[in-house]
Structure 1
Amino acid sequence: MVAKKTSKEWLKEAISDGHIIYHDYNEFKNPEKIGEGGFGSVYKYEWKSCVMNVALKRLKVDYDDSQGFVKELILLRRISHHANIIHFHGVTEDREGYYNMVLECANDGNLRDYLKENFKKLQWIEKLSIAKEIAHGLVYLHGQKIVHRDFHSKNILIDQGRPKIADFGLSKQLDESFMTSTSNFAGLIEFVEPQCFKNPKYKRDIKSDIYSFGVILWEISSGRKPFPGSFRPSLIYTILLGKREDRIIGTPPKYIEIYERCWDNDPNKRPDTILVYEDLKQLVESSTMNRLDLQSNMFDEGPSTRKNKSQQYSINGFTFTSSQLLIPKEFMDINQSEEEPNEQPNKTTSPPIKNKARSSTLDSRQNKTSNQNKKTRSSSLDANFSKQNNNELEINGSTSNLNLSIPEEAKNVAATLNSIFTLNLKMSKLNNEGIKIISEALIDNKTLTILDIGFNKIGAEGTKSLASVLSKNRVLTTLKLCSNNLGPEGGKTLAEALRKNIKLSSLNITNNKLGPEGGKAIANALLKNTTLTSLNIGSNNLGPEGAKAFAEAINKNKTLTSLSIEKNHFGPEGGRELSRTLPNNTTLTKLNVKENDFDRATRSLLNERHSKFVKINY
C-alpha cells in the first residue's frame, strides 16, 4: 500500500516542479510583528534583494486534503497579478521548519481601520473609487470561478489608497487570524449570507459574496462597522427578518440602490458581479465628468477644516482640488424622509436640495441620460478617461511569482496586452527571450500606456527588443526599467530608440550599470527627444563625464521638467559642470542630485547658479 503524501511533501513537490516559487528565508531581514495567528505571529520583513516590505504568514499544512491545499496555493499564484488582489510572491521555510506565505504588505491596514482613520476627510469620489476597485477585483475572482466565502471589510487591505482583496478561497486551508477576522466557521455575522443561518450546510456561492459586498458598500458609506454592539443570536434573527442597517444621509441614491439589491435576502434577486461593477464604474465616471460645484454641507463628512482652502485628492492617477471635484447630479437627490436621529454616528440632516435628479435603477440599463451626458464632455476629459474605462484589467503588483523566462508564461501575458492599459511585471524573471515575446506584442499595441518591467534580467541584448517597441509604438507613455542590468551597451541602444520615439513622457532606468558611456548616450538623446518630461537615471555610476553630458542636455533640452541623477558619483567636478548650465534652463522644475559626493563649495555654487524655476534636492 502506497503511503499517503503529507502536505509538506506535496508542497515540496510543487516547489520542485516550479508550480510554486520558493524564496530563501535569509532573503528577509528586520522582522516586525504585525499580527497574531493560530499558528504563530505574522511579521513584516524587508526583502533584501527586492528592496520592498512583505508579510510572512505561517501556513497550516496538516489538514486532511493535503493535495487540495497545494492546489489552492497554485491557484493563488495564478490569480494574484490583479491590481485589486493581494499579491502572493511564493513561500519560504523559516528557521523553525514552518512554511510561510510571502505576501504583499499593505501599508494602510484593512478597509475597516482605514475608514475609521480617514473617513472624515474622504470625499465621495474617493469612496466610490474604493468601492469600484473592490468590485473590479471581485469580478476577476468570480470570473475565475473562485468564491471568497469570507468577504468583509477586514479581508480587504489598503495599500496607498488602493483596495486589495485578501484571503479568498482559502478559509478552510489557512489560519486567517491575520488579514481576516477571528470569527467562527460562519465568519462575521454582519456579512454572512442569510441562507447560512437557515441551513448550516448551505454552500456559499458567488451570490453569497455579492451579499457580503452589499454590507461592505454600506460600511464605506457610513465609515463604521454594521450593527455595532448587537447581541449575536438576536442579530441573526434580525437579519433573517430582512432588517438591514439604515441609509446614511448624503449617500447617492444610485449607490443605495446598488447595495440594497446586493444584500437582498433572496439570492436570486441579487445582481451579477459584473452589473454591480458597471454601475459603480458609471457612478465614478459621472462624478468625474459632470462639472458640479462641491457644497460643503451636501454630504455627511464630519467637521470640515477646509474653509476657503483648496485641498488636493488623487484618484487613480488623476488629481483634483476640492473646488474642482466633479459631483454627479444623482448625488443631489437627498430624501428628507431618510433623516436619522442626531445621536446616530455619521447621520446628519442635509438641507433641502432643489431640482432633484431622477435616480436610475440597476434594471434601467438602457437609460439614455448617461449617453447624452457623455456627448457633452470635453475632448480632453474623454482623452484622459477613455483608456481607463475601456481597458481596466491590470496585471499588476510586485509579481515575483511570475516566471516569464518560461516562454509559455510570457506568451500568456502577451496575449492580454490588447485589453489593458497598465502592465506591471516587476520581479517576474523576465529575460532576453521573454522581453522579445512581450515586445513583439507591443509594437502594434493600441492600448498599453504604462509598462513596468523593473527588477528583471533583460540585459543589453533584451534592450534591443525593447528598443524596437520604442521606435514604433505610438501609445506607450511611461516605461520603468530599473534594475535590469542594461550596461553601457544597453544604454546606447535605449538612447537610439529615444531619438526616434514620439510618445514616451516618463522613463525610469535607475540602477542599470550604465556607466559614463551609457549615461552620455542617454544625455545626448535628450538633445533630440521632444517628448520626455520625466527621467530617473539614478545609481548608474555616471561619474564626472556623465555629469558633463547631462549639463549639456540641461542647457539645450526644452521639454524635461523632472530629472533625477542621484547617486552617480559626480563629485565636485560634475557639480561645477551642472552649475554652469543650470541658469540657462527654463523648463526644469525638479532636480534630484542627492549623494553625488558634492563638497560644501559645490553645493553653494549650485544654489547660487540655478534658475528660479528649479527646486534642487541634495
Structure 2
Amino acid sequence: MPYYCLGDLTHYLSNNFYNISWETKLFKLFFTMSGLLKIHQAKIIHRDLHSGNIFFDKNFAYIGDLGISRSATESNNDNEKYGIIPYMAPEIFQGQKYTEASDIYSFGMIMWEFMTGRRPFGDEIHDIELIIKICDGLRPPIVTNAPEGYIELMKECWHSDPAKRPTAEDIYWKINKMRNNESYINQTKIIESSDIGPVTINNPDAIYKSRPLSRMIQSAMSLRNSRSQTIDPFYYYQKNADKRKFEDDSVEDSNDNEQSIKRRKFLENENSDYFTKEIELDINMSSNQSHDKGKQIYVYKYMSAL
C-alpha cells in the first residue's frame, strides 16, 4: 500500500486540528468529494466510506478500500451488512439496498468530523441501541463554528430520507463555492471550545473498525419493532429526545405541553392497565470473528492546491 505522509483523515485531524484553517478543510473536503463524484460517475457505490479510508499526502487526496464496493446497476442486495455503525445510513439498517445516497449519508458524517475533529458518536456504545437511535433520527450534535452554508449542507447529507439528500455533484459545487468564499471573502475563525477538538479519552465501546453487522442489525430491528408495539410511544420518544437533539430541530419547546396532554389522555384511556413486556433477545454474535474479505484497495487521486 502506498505511503500517505499525512495519514488517514482521523489521524490528520487528531494531530493538527486547531492548526488547520477552514480554508484548508474545505480544500480537503472538496478533493475528497471529487473522488466520490468520480466513483459515482463510474456507477459504483463505495458502501463503506468513513474517515479511516480517506488519505492525504501533501499534494493529493485519496479514497481507498473499495473492497466491498458494488456497481450501482446491480439489483442484488447482499444479505451481509458490513461497516462502522455511525457512518451507515439508517435505511441500510432497515433493510433497503445500498445506493449513492447511502454514500452521501456517510459523507455527511465526514463533514461533521472535519467540523469537530471528533468521530461521530464517540460517546455512545456501538451496539443495537445506537442502531435503533439512528433509525429514530439521532444525529451528532451541531456546533456553530463553521462557514456559511456548511451546517445546512451537512444536515441535508444525513437526512433520514435518501431521496432528499443531495447528489455528489451538488455537494461538489456547493463546497467549491464555500472554499472560494473562505479564500477570498470571509474567513471563518476556529474558536476553541469543549464541543470541538480531539478527545483525550477513547471510549472502548465505540468501535471504528469495519465489521460484519447483519446479526446485530437484525436484532436491533426486531427489538425496535417490538418496542413500537409494546412501549408507550410518548415515553420512548421523550427519553431519546432528551439525550440529544434530533435532525431538523423536530423537537421544539412549543410542542412539549401538547405531547404531555396527549400522553396523559393515552394513559387514562388505558385505565391504568397499561404495562410493557420486557423482551429478551438471544444475540449470538462472535465479535472476534474474522471478516477480512481479501480487501482490494483502489485509490482516486487528485491534485490539491494546498
Where on the TM-score scale, by shorter chain, does this alignment land: which range? 0.5 to 0.7
Fraction of identical pairs, as percent: 31
State the secondary structure of the residue aligned to 2:149.
helix
Equivalent position amino acid for 1:241 in 2: D
State yes or no: 1:261 paired with 2:156.
yes
More helix by share: 2
State yes or no: 1:188 paired with 2:80.
no
Matches within 5 A, 1:143-542: 143-160=41-58, 162-168=60-66, 170-171=67-68, 185-199=81-95, 202-232=96-126, 233-290=128-185, 292=186, 298-300=189-191, 302=192, 343-346=194-197
CA contact (8 A) 1:149 1:208 kept: yes
Q: Which residue is 1:447 aligned to?
A: none
Structure 1 residues 344 and 272: alpha-carbon distance in aligned structure 2, compared to 1, 3 A threshold? closer
Whole-Å Cα distance in 2 between the matches of residues 117 and 343 of structure 1? 17
Deviation at residue 343 of structure 1 after TM alignment: 4.5
Deviation at residue 189 of structure 1 after TM alignment: 0.4
CA contact (8 A) 2:46 2:69 kept: no
Structure 1 residues 117 and 143: alpha-carbon distance in aligned structure 2, compared to 1, 3 A threshold? same
Q: Which residue is 1:332 aligned to?
A: none
Equivalent position amino acid for 2:90 in 1: P
- Give every structure 1 segment of 4 or more consecutive aligned residues whose post-TM-superposition deviation is greater than 4 Å: none
CA contact (8 A) 2:90 2:135 kept: yes
Equivalent position amino acid for 1:299 in 2: I
State the secondary structure of the residue aligned to 1:253.
coil
CA contact (8 A) 1:214 1:259 kept: yes
Q: 1:104-129 CA deviation, whole Å, 9 max, x = no partner?
A: 32222110111111111000101111
Structure 1: gaps spanning 5 or more residues: 1-54, 56-103, 174-183, 303-341, 348-394, 398-421, 423-618
Whole-Å Cα distance in 2 between the matches of residues 243 and 253 of structure 1? 23
Deviation at residue 241 of structure 1 after TM alignment: 1.4
- When the two structures are aligned, how many residues end up with a matched partner? 192
Equivalent position amino acid for 2:57 in 1: D
Bigger RCO (CA 8 Å, 6+ sep): 2
Deviation at residue 186 of structure 1 after TM alignment: 2.7
TM norm structure 1? 0.29
More strand by share: 1
Structure 1 residues 185 and 210: alpha-carbon distance in aligned structure 2, compared to 1, 3 A threshold? same
State the secondary structure of the residue aligned to 1:226.
coil
Structure 1 residues 133 and 262: alpha-carbon distance in aligned structure 2, compared to 1, 3 A threshold? same
Whole-Å Cα distance in 2 between the matches of residues 284 and 264 of structure 1? 23
TM norm structure 2? 0.58
CA contact (8 A) 1:111 1:158 kept: yes
State the secondary structure of the residue aligned to 2:150.
helix
Structure 2: gaps spanning 5 or more residues: 71-79, 199-299
Equivalent position amino acid for 1:190 in 2: P
Whole-Å Cα distance in 2 between the matches of residues 274 and 218 of structure 1? 19
Equivalent position amino acid for 1:159 in 2: D
Whole-Å Cα distance in 1 between the matches of residues 99 and 18 of structure 2? 35
Whole-Å Cα distance in 2 between the matches of residues 299 and 140 of structure 1? 31
Deviation at residue 221 of structure 1 after TM alignment: 0.7
Whole-Å Cα distance in 2 between the matches of residues 136 and 151 of structure 1? 14
Whole-Å Cα distance in 2 between the matches of residues 136 and 255 of structure 1? 17
Deviation at residue 236 of structure 1 after TM alignment: 1.0
Superposition CA RMSD, Å: 2.4
Whole-Å Cα distance in 1 between the matches of residues 7 and 158 of structure 2? 25
Deviation at residue 299 of structure 1 after TM alignment: 2.4
Whole-Å Cα distance in 2 between the matches of residues 116 and 396 of structure 1? 23
